[in-house]
Amino acid sequence: MSLGRPFSLTYLGHATFRLTTGSGKVVLLDPWVMGNPACPEALRKFDRIDLMLITHGHFDHIGDAVDLAKKHKPDIAAVFETCLWLQSKGVEKTSPMNKGGTQKLAGVSLTMVSADHSCGILDKDDKGRDVVIYGGEACGYVLTLEDGFRIYHAGDTNVFGDMKIIGDLYKPDLAMLPIGDLFTMSPREAAYAIRLLGVKKVIPMHFATFPPLTGTPEALREQARDVAGLEILALEPGETLR
């Protein structure tokens, strides 16, 4: 698929995306590839990663963060407490932030915005038992690329009224929205989110990875059929939007 813009965005399945900016920087959003059953094998390896963004601490979003960070040494943006946990694992170059804040990394201006979700990090204690670490709060990001194009990655969330504020303030050109239901928005909620955000190009995510994530792009199209000019860009895992 083509947007006629100087970046490319590859869907790695679930909520994971690889963005290559116009200046050639590689941004990985929600690093989960090795255990991600939707990620094509050939896309589990990277030549470089300049920036990693983490929406929250659940394994299906942070699963490969530590390994990939140690290998590629990217800048990493995450909420403050998740950065502390990453630092405790020996990860360098974390750039902690919180909701409402903006910072520029790898040429991309990042604004952290709300998401309505949980953020516990599953870890092991010194006896090898499972423990859940407080990871701060779940978030989404608005990315402003070098040419001004704005991308909103909602993270895992339900629909919430402040999406109207995200739409008013940042006017995203493209949004990645979860539609799978059970742990996030269903297509019905995602359609409501589209109306609040005023966005006209939407990539559905966080569906079909596991059987309980039952929402589909077809159901989203049906629920949002009243939205004039809306394009639902249903990428297959491995597919690139250019």
Nearest distance, CB of residue 134 and Zn ion, angstroms: 18
Pick the closer one to Zn ion by CB: 60 or 81.
60
Pick the closer one to Zn ion by CB: 50 or 116.
116
Q: Which stretch binds Zn ion (CB under 5 A): 92-100, 148-156, 164-172, 214-222?
A: 148-156
| Spatial distance between the Cα atoms of 186 and 92, rounded to a whole number of angstroms | 36
Pick the closer one to Zn ion by CB: 50 or 189.
189
Give the Cα-Cα-Cα angle 119, 182, 219 (nearest 5 degrees): 125
Nearest distance, CB of residue 61 and Zn ion, angstroms: 6
Pick the closer one to Zn ion by CB: 36 or 94.
36
In this chain, which of 137, 156, 181, 189 binds Zn ion, going by CB under 5 A? 156
| Spatial distance between the Cα atoms of 138 and 19, rounded to a whole number of angstroms | 21
Helix (H, G, I), strand (E, B), or coil: what is residue 164? helix
| Spatial distance between the Cα atoms of 223 and 177, rounded to a whole number of angstroms | 14
* Long-range pairs for 120-125: beta carbons < 8 A, 24 or more residues apart: 120/57, 120/58, 121/57, 121/58, 121/62, 121/82, 121/85, 122/58, 122/59, 123/85
Nearest distance, CB of residue 213 and Zn ion, angstroms: 9
Give the Cα-Cα-Cα angle 113, 37, 178 (nearest 5 degrees): 30
Residues 26-65 that bind Zn ion (CB under 5 A): 60
Q: Which stretch binds Zn ion (CB under 5 A): 72-80, 143-151, 156-164, 228-236?
A: 156-164
Pick the closer one to Zn ion by CB: 68 or 145.
68
Nearest distance, CB of residue 167 and Zn ion, angstroms: 23
| Spatial distance between the Cα atoms of 41 and 153, rounded to a whole number of angstroms | 24
Nearest distance, CB of residue 85 and Zn ion, angstroms: 17
- Asked whether 175 and 143 are in contact (CB, 8 A), the reply is no
Q: Which residues of this protein are in contact with Zn ion, per CB under 5 A?
A: 60, 156
